[in-house]
């Protein structure tokens, strides 16, 4: 996703001379093309994220569209006061880019696990929160936030994420994208687990479960209409995210459901527990340990639907 981001940022910057990039002394293998092409619109603030954010706010209030860029929790939690007071309070045109949502930097330990960021950023007034599901959404979101007024948080994967969309997408901030239709279950995903959501839907089809898959790339403002439609048109609903189940996509959807007229739609949040993960390893390893493997997700959803798992469904028959 980060490659898709920087490539699209270069294209946007060619068209709009307001666009600037401020980094926290990292990511040079990725951001060097921007620094070389636009040296007067690139700033390395050093390992000083508070300064990076304050500087970006000042530039934005002078008429620029400023992207701040760092990994995991550094452009958010380390400088949260500056984001709240300098950026959000003044509705400054600052776009905060966090590389490595969830367990993307899992090998570096819990300090690099971005697992509470959506909840925290979503709680800030005037902040728009976006977590694209694949490189296509990441590129589209980069272009979209330039023209979206005020503060934005763009949560990206690290690199190598597979493409979930097989055709051109209509990306609109605040509008979910439907990848599959179904009437048994709605599976709403945000961020890098979108390819997993598609794989889960394929596996559920082998269990005779028809699954609607929604990419809820924007968590704030949430597409409430898509949530409400799912309660009317499918029998059950679940959210899927590589983030704490508290305050992220699951929390946002639960808030919408709580204020709807009673429909009795079964609902579950699939994500990370509100706990520090002391293990270190690849994102795939940590996802499996946290119950975010395809198999574990399928098992939970079948229980939600009160549907027994068909043993051997979708598998090749054994040969004697």
Tell me if 311 is assigned to some domain. no
Tell me if 314 is assigned to some domain. no
Tell me if 261 is assigned to some domain. yes
Strand, helix or coil at 110?
helix
Judge residue 213's burial from the number of C-beta atoms within 10 Å of its C-beta, 0-12 exposed, 13-18 middle, 19 or more buried.
buried
Residues 111, 29 share a domain: yes
Tell me if 167 is assigned to some domain. no
pLDDT at 319: 38
Residues 8, 84 share a domain: yes
Q: Are 231 and 89 in contact (CB under 8 A)?
A: no
What is the chain's pLDDT, residue by residue, as a tens digit (320 residues)? Answer: 899 999 999 999 999 999 999 999 987 889 999 999 999 999 999 999 999 999 999 999 999 999 999 998 999 999 999 999 999 999 999 999 999 999 999 999 999 999 999 999 999 999 999 999 999 999 999 999 999 999 999 999 986 789 999 889 999 999 999 999 999 999 999 999 999 999 999 999 999 999 999 999 999 999 999 999 999 999 999 999 999 999 999 999 999 999 998 778 999 999 999 999 888 999 999 999 999 999 999 999 999 999 888 766 554 444 32
pLDDT at 313: 57
Total number of domains in the chain:
2
Query: Could you tell me the residue range of the domain that residue 203 belongs to?
Result: 177-304
Residues 144, 6 share a domain: yes
Tell me if 199 is assigned to some domain. yes
Strand, helix or coil at 197?
helix
pTM of the entire structure?
A: 0.94
Tell me if 318 is assigned to some domain. no
Distance CA 269, CA 260 (A): 17
Residues 299, 197 share a domain: yes
Q: CA dihedral in degrees (284, 290, 294, 299; nearest 10)? A: 160
Residue 267's domain is classified under what CATH number? 3.40.50.920
Residues 140, 248 share a domain: no
Residues 218, 129 share a domain: no
Tell me if 161 is assigned to some domain. no
Residues 12, 127 share a domain: yes
Tell me if 320 is assigned to some domain. no
- Asked whether the CA dihedral 98, 103, 104, 107 is positive or negative, the reply is positive
């Amino acid at each position: 996703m980060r490659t898709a981001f920087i490539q699209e940022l270069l294209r946007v910057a060619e068209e709009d001379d307001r666009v600037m990039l401020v980094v926290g002394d990292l990511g040079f293998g990725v951001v060097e093309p921007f620094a070389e092409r636009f040296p007067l619109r690139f700033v390395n603030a050093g390992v000083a994220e508070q300064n990076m954010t304050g500087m970006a706010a000042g530039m934005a209030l002078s008429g620029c569209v400023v992207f701040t860029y760092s990994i995991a929790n550094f452009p958010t939690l380390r400088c949260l006061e500056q984001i709240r007071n300098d950026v959000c309070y003044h509705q400054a045109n600052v776009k905060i880019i966090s590389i490595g949502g969830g367990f993307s930097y899992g090998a570096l330990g819990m300090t690099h696990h971005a697992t509470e960021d959506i909840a925290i950023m979503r709680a800030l007034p005037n902040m728009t929160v976006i977590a694209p599901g694949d490189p296509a959404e990441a590129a589209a979101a980069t272009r979209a936030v330039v023209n979206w007024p005020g503060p934005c948080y763009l949560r990206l994967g690290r690199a190598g994420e597979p493409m979930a969309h097989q055709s051109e997408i209509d990306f609109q901030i605040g509008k979910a994208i439907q990848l599959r239709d179904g009437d048994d279950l709605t599976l709403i995903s945000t961020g890098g687990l979108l390819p997993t959501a598609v794989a889960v839907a394929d596996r559920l089809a082998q269990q005779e479960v028809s699954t609607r898959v929604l990419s809820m790339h924007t968590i704030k403002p949430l597409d409430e209409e898509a949530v409400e439609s799912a309660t009317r048109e499918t029998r059950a609903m679940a959210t899927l995210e590589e983030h704490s189940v508290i305050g992220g996509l699951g929390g946002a959807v639960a808030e919408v459901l709580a204020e709807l007229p009673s429909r009795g739609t079964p609902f579950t949040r699939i994500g990370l527990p509100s706990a520090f993960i002391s293990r270190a390893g690849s994102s795939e390893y940590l996802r499996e340990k946290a119950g975010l493997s395809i198999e574990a997700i399928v098992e939970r959803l079948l229980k939600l639907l009160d549907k027994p798992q068909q043993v051997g469904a979708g598998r090749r028959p054994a040969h004697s």
